[in-house]
A and B are shown apart, each in its own frame.
Chain A
Amino acid sequence: MSASAHGTTPHYFVPQPSRHPAFAAFGLFFLFFGLANWINGADWGVYSFAFGLLWLFGVLFQWFRDSIRESEGGQYGRKIELSFRWSMSWFIFSEVMFFGAFFTALWWMRAHSVPELGGIDNSLLWPDFKAIWPSRGVGATASPAGIIEPFQTMTPFWLPTINTALLLSSGVTLTIAHHALRENHRGRTIAFMWLTVLLGLVFLFVQGYEYFHAYSDLNLKLTSGAYGSTFFMLTGFHGFHVFIGMLMLLFITLRLMKGHFTADKHFGFEGAAWYWHFVDVVWLGLYILVYWL
């Protein structure tokens, strides 16, 4: 911390006591407790889950409204902005580790457990199983115990490739929007932001269609053994992140339309953009490791 920062922002903004955190936690209880019971067949669970979700959204809405108000009210000095930068970077890092767990699962199953199950030692237990990746053959060779219905794998063409193009171009449009914002062309910024959101949305639709295709035409399901598990876990988790990122961008766009952010102070925008690029990079990893290799 330098002395000049000291001079410019004597106060680090510390918010008023707030009911939002505790209220959000209250909602989360119903959300997760409901969910845990719902997936175990308790019908009331879904109501608890829905209540928790709505409640949480309500709280988050107010919470964000308050911080946006503070931000626009000029309460957030330079230091706070720096804090936001640090925190967003480390949050993204934690997300990288989260994805890391699932990529590890993919690697382990491909490079380790499936070959070992089909290996010479394990022929004692699974004499008929041949280790092939993706293990999608008919009958006994698809999985050690023969419990997996035959299925076809998802090829990179064309849906995933289209999606790659969509995400990459959304990165470009986002960057254009950012440059426009910095040059204070707000109209252009907003237009390109909408375009980015739209690209994200189309991505999600294409992915939805891809899943539909997988289930109905390829017989590729979450239950399709090692391949199905990792395929849907990785792409699904990523899709969820696209959804979140898309929401972030949407709200940023709406804020832009309300006149928020300035040419040189717009971390809300940048944070969302960082997140979007992160989602983008993860997709490239997926595209190569899940679809191509």
Chain B
Amino acid sequence: MSAVLDPHGHAPGDHAHDDHHDHAPAGWRRWVYATNHKDIGTLYLLFAFFMLMFGGVLALLIRAELFQPGLQIVNPELFNQLTTMHGLIMVFGAIMPAFVGFANWMIPLQIGAPDMAFARMNNFSFWLMVPAGIMLLGSFFMPGGAPAAGWTLYAPLTLQMGPSMDAGIFAMHILGASSIMGSINIIVTILNMRAPGMTLMKMPMFAWTWLITAYLLIAVMPVLAGAITMTLTDRHFGTVFFNPAGGGDPVMYQHIFWFFGHPEVYIMILPAFGIVSQVVPAFARKRLFGYASMVYATSSIAILSFIVWAHHMFTTGMPVTGQLFFMYATMLIAVPTAVKIFNWIATMWQGSMTFETPMLFAVGFIFVFTMGGFTGLILAMAPIDLLLQDTYYVVAHFHYVLVAGSLYAMFAGVYYWMPKWTGVMYVESRGKIHFWWTLIAFNVTFFPMHFLGLAGMPRRYADYPMQFADFNAIASVGAFAFGIAQVYFFFFVVLPCMRGKGEPAPQRPWNDPDGKGAEGLEWEVPSPAPFHTFETPPRLDATATRILDTRVQPERKEAVHVAPEAPKAA
């Protein structure tokens, strides 16, 4: 990547006016001591990918156990640990950090800022994840094994857990602190460091969605911290927050948790919307349709997300007025989401489309995510949810929005920006294989889960009645196929690019000779993006997608494999 494996910091002296970052450290120090947003972004992305693999292996163990009825591989206790840790690791270890990695790499580039607002704190946000990650993964080896109360950590089951529960709670505290610092960094960077002329309403959609996501994060991560702190004191210091014997209430935990938890799921999808909003216009060779309404829709989703949490609790028993309120509010979210889907399609409409891998994943996202959205809507109907709550239907729903949603968008983003990051073009045919393989395996894995859920198979079950056997077997086979596709992605797409093997990428890999295609400041810098970019604020044209003054972005020696404007035949 502008350097992942080869530390081409930059040669001293090619940049007389900024003495203070001439000594980009080499070797391990470059990464451990990093203050460069691109390096930190890379660290985040690699960390997240590692966690995706780890969480994925846990998922495969789950699927292997569920391949047929009866217990074959794990005991029920370990099964619950696998489920719990799979959820926690995927949510907090894979999806969230990956999006922060994207934010780190792309936001300063997209808004013409030299770096993140607080570079050292940025690195702190990353390094906090390491102890938290070790504590989470290490909990499998603590006495009593890993936490097994589900990723939602419902009281009072958490009160029965062993010491690893406390390690888990502290890990979540640390991750929360990391997220809050990361969000503050992003907000400040966006609000304060845009290049002159980059008004908020000219900002790329990805930056917009992250701005809104960051607000969600600082509003809800502390609430999660509060909930698990109360769990901690209930466990060890005799408080009774969730203990009815002393006047507390287990359902209170759920309210507080889901006040965090629902915005959390939008935290995991809004940046994905952002990526898709970048990719679709680039490959439709047409500007994003309805930019302003996209911004408003994203904000509405974020605001609505605060008043729908109890749709996860329809079966806890609440007054009918409560159920109705939460049902209506939840269904309302379909409206701004509809606006987004329609705007993407309108962007494609009358475009001049090509289907390189990023576009394939973006279109795949729109298609499959919508299926997940519809099942969400069906779950939002309280009477139907009474039957589907805590069944595999819910599991199907959220993997459709999380895997086919967040993860697909991330793949789209990786393919889209990888040339900029590494200076190497991935091999298009491999990207296509990865896409189709992923798409098919994904649906084989998760589509049958709808049937299982409708037929009543509860989630978090280590064993199930015989009648559910066939669909479970199909899902398990699909899961392994899906996993292999990701291994392929790593070894045949990511690794070659990181090693610098492959065709050098032009500065604007996605643009036609006539300039149509990808827009944005990130394409104004060479590929790979130099270690430092926009050290002096660039002067922008009226659309804020082009730099007028090329003096501030001199071409670099190390980036000359391709002439800057070299067109790429599509």
Chain A interface size, as a band, is: 35 or more
Asked if A225 is at the interface (CB within 8 A of a chain B CB), the reply is yes
A33 → B minimal CB distance (Å): 6
Q: Could you tell me which residues of chain A, from 189 to 234, have a CB within 8 Å of some CB in chain B?
A: 221-223, 225-230, 232-233
- B249 x A109 contact (CB < 8 A): yes
- B33 x A33 contact (CB < 8 A): no
Q: Could you tell me which residues of chain B, from 212 to 232, have a CB within 8 Å of some CB in chain A?
A: 218-223, 225-227, 229-230
| Chain B residues whose CB sits within 8 angstroms of the CB of A233 once the complex forms | 230, 233, 239, 241
| Chain B residues whose CB sits within 8 angstroms of the CB of A3 once the complex forms | 196
- A21 x B127 contact (CB < 8 A): yes
| Chain A residues whose CB sits within 8 angstroms of the CB of B135 once the complex forms | 29, 32-33, 36
Residue-wise, chain A 19-48 has the 8 Å CB interface mask toward B (1 for contact) of 111101110110011011101101000000
With known contacts A86-B192, A108-B255, A229-B241, A21–B120 Cβ distance under 8 A: yes
Give Cα A221–Cα B245 distance, bound, in whole angstroms: 16
- B195 x A1 contact (CB < 8 A): yes
By beta carbon, the residue of chain A nearest B230 is A105
- Across the interface, A33 reaches (CB within 8 A) one of B30, B131, B193, namely B131
B39 → A minimal CB distance (Å): 9
- B173 x A226 contact (CB < 8 A): no
| Chain B residues whose CB sits within 8 angstroms of the CB of A35 once the complex forms | 166, 170
With known contacts A24-B127, A233-B230, A101–B222 Cβ distance under 8 A: yes
Residue-wise, chain B 522-541 has the 8 Å CB interface mask toward A (1 for contact) of 00000000000001110000
With known contacts A12-B115, A17-B24, A83–B195 Cβ distance under 8 A: no
Residue-wise, chain B 185-212 has the 8 Å CB interface mask toward A (1 for contact) of 1011001111110100000000000000
With known contacts A1-B537, A109-B248, A222-B233, A11–B30 Cβ distance under 8 A: no
Secondary structure of the B contact surface, majority rule: helix
A112 → B minimal CB distance (Å): 7
With known contacts A14-B21, A101-B222, A145-B246, A19–B119 Cβ distance under 8 A: no
By beta carbon, the residue of chain B nearest A129 is B247
- B227 x A101 contact (CB < 8 A): yes
- A33 x B240 contact (CB < 8 A): no
With known contacts A17-B30, A33-B131, A94–B218 Cβ distance under 8 A: yes
By beta carbon, the residue of chain B nearest A37 is B163
| Chain A residues whose CB sits within 8 angstroms of the CB of B170 once the complex forms | 32-33, 35-36
- B118 x A97 contact (CB < 8 A): no
Residue-wise, chain A 116-144 has the 8 Å CB interface mask toward B (1 for contact) of 11000000000000000001000000011
Asked if A147 is at the interface (CB within 8 A of a chain B CB), the reply is yes
Give Cα A143–Cα B274 distance, bound, in whole angstroms: 51
By beta carbon, the residue of chain B nearest A5 is B196
Give Cα A47–Cα B245 distance, bound, in whole angstroms: 35
| Chain B residues whose CB sits within 8 angstroms of the CB of A87 once the complex forms | 117-118, 184-185, 187-188
Asked if B332 is at the interface (CB within 8 A of a chain A CB), the reply is no
Residues of chain A at the chain B interface (Cβ within 8 Å): 1-3, 6, 10-22, 24-26, 28-29, 32-33, 35-37, 39-40, 42, 63, 67, 79, 82-83, 86-87, 90-91, 93-95, 97-102, 104-105, 108-109, 112-114, 116-117, 135, 143-145, 147-148, 221-223, 225-230, 232-233
Of all A-B residue pairs in the complex, the 7 with the closest CB atoms, nearest first, are: A101-B226, A226-B247, A29-B131, A113-B249, A145-B245, A223-B238, A21-B124
Add 19 more A-B contacts to A95-B222, A101-B230 (CB < 8 A). A1-B196, A6-B196, A12-B115, A28-B174, A33-B167, A36-B169, A67-B120, A86-B188, A86-B192, A97-B220, A97-B223, A101-B222, A109-B249, A135-B247, A148-B246, A223-B240, A226-B246, A232-B239, A233-B241
| CB<8 Å pairs between A and B, sample of 9 | A11-B535, A36-B135, A37-B163, A91-B184, A102-B230, A117-B247, A145-B246, A148-B247, A221-B238
